[in-house]
Amino acid sequence: METKICVIGLGYVGLPLARLFSTKYRTIGFDMNQRRVDTLMVGHDATLEVSDELLQDAINNHGFKCTANIDEIRDCNFYVVAVPTPIDKDNNPDLTPLIGASTTVGKVISEGDIVVYESTVYPGVTEDDCIPVVEKVSGLKYNIEFFAGYSPERINPGDKQHTVEHIKKVTSGSTPEIGKKINEIYSSVITAGTHLAPTIKVAEAAKVIENSQRDINIAFVNELSKIFNRMGINTQDVLEAAGTKWNFLPFRPGLVGGHCIGVDPYYLAQCALRYGYNPEIILAGRRMNDGMGAYVAESVIKLMLKKGIQVLKSDILILGFTFKENCPDCRNTKIMDIVNALKEYNLNLTIYDPWVNPTVAMYEYGVEITNELPKEKFDAVILGVAHNEFKTLDVPVLGKENSVVYDVKWLLLTDQPDLRL
């Protein structure tokens, strides 16, 4: 039987994967956002994860199609779910998008079909939360009339070197035979290779600890930065010296946002709590990293006061708004933590980011973003994101004669900023 693939969710994860699958298989992308579908079908991806050239090639030469019409995906037999798995305001996992996508799958899946989940979850979600929805809606029996798998996404938004085909893929299936079949399909397009995990839960756990490990390591160097700043020691100098040892891990302090690193630890913590274990290190790391935005803001205000700069009605410029450099992705951006902390001081904030769609930023966060570098001078400048555009920017000249420059990303020369994270 010919494999016909449907990827549900055409965001930062789903679209690159769907485009890649289309080079080998009949592939259709499904997204409930009609505007998103319309934009993609004219050959442009607003997330910039897939170039116009590659997307148009997929549409014109490989028969790739995007749709918001559920009837157009009924004849597929290999469904891939790639929807967001956010957290709510209390940092609890929000499975609403995943349950919605499972409902969609249940409406179209047929006997013998396979559904593979890529969304980040804690161990057990695929089989305990998602599959029952598919069963209920479809009326089919799991592992008898339809099958499932889990292959966690590892896409790094904005990274043009480690694209989806160049990142090793973990795969798994609900039975050994299905696992092999899923692995074969992925390995046919993933040039970096695949790793077939023994069970779905193992694959789920592998994904959720990847980013939790990174989160904890960054939390450690963030704490070091706080300590060394009090001691008047340059954190970068310390890390460079320590990094001369072969087994020292090269992590740097910073803001931890985005759709993965700042979210996945909460999924793992929630899972641990369900089993009666309080994950102390994981949550301690989260508390440290979640507080770094406020720490940056408070450090700027303190230095302004030390330099005799009036804080009330002062003008502050923030360079960058996205959660990481060289991409328009603003999901869970921790720049907002800096913004919210500074707003308490009744000052004037300007945020400059050439990558951000101002309409999206206003809709999602209620903040104004400018894509043009302001011409006026500021009382404080915070370099928050390491966009390429900022690497050649003379940041200190953006400030007034008596001003503060805070380098969150270690982008400036040693003598240029007043403070570094």
Active site (catalytic) residues? 260
Cβ 367 vs Cβ 330: under 8 Å: no
Cβ 354 vs Cβ 371: under 8 Å: yes
Q: What is the distance between the alpha carbons of residues 117 and 17, in angstroms, rounded to a whole number? A: 12
Q: At how many degrees (to 10) do helices 292-306 and 335-343 cross?
A: 50
Query: What are the φ and ψ backbone dihedral angles of 34, each rounded to 5 degrees?
Result: -60, -35
Query: What are the φ and ψ backbone dihedral angles of 406, each rounded to 5 degrees?
Result: -115, 120
- Strand, helix or coil for residue 399: strand
Q: What is the distance between the alpha carbons of residues 160 and 172, in angstroms, rounded to a whole number? A: 27
Q: What is the distance between the alpha carbons of residues 87 and 266, in angstroms, rounded to a whole number? A: 8
Query: What are the φ and ψ backbone dihedral angles of 18, each rounded to 5 degrees?
Result: -65, -45
Q: What is the distance between the alpha carbons of residues 403 and 396, in angstroms, rounded to a whole number? A: 9
Query: Long-range contacts for 363-370 (Cβ within 8 Å, ≥24 apart)?
Result: 364/330, 365/330, 365/333, 365/336, 367/321, 367/336, 367/339, 369/321
CB contact set of 18 (below 8 Å; sequence gap of 6+): 5, 7, 10, 27, 28, 29, 64, 66, 80
207 closest CA partner among 252, 247, 171, 248: 171
Find residue 350's DSSP bridge partners.
Answer: 317
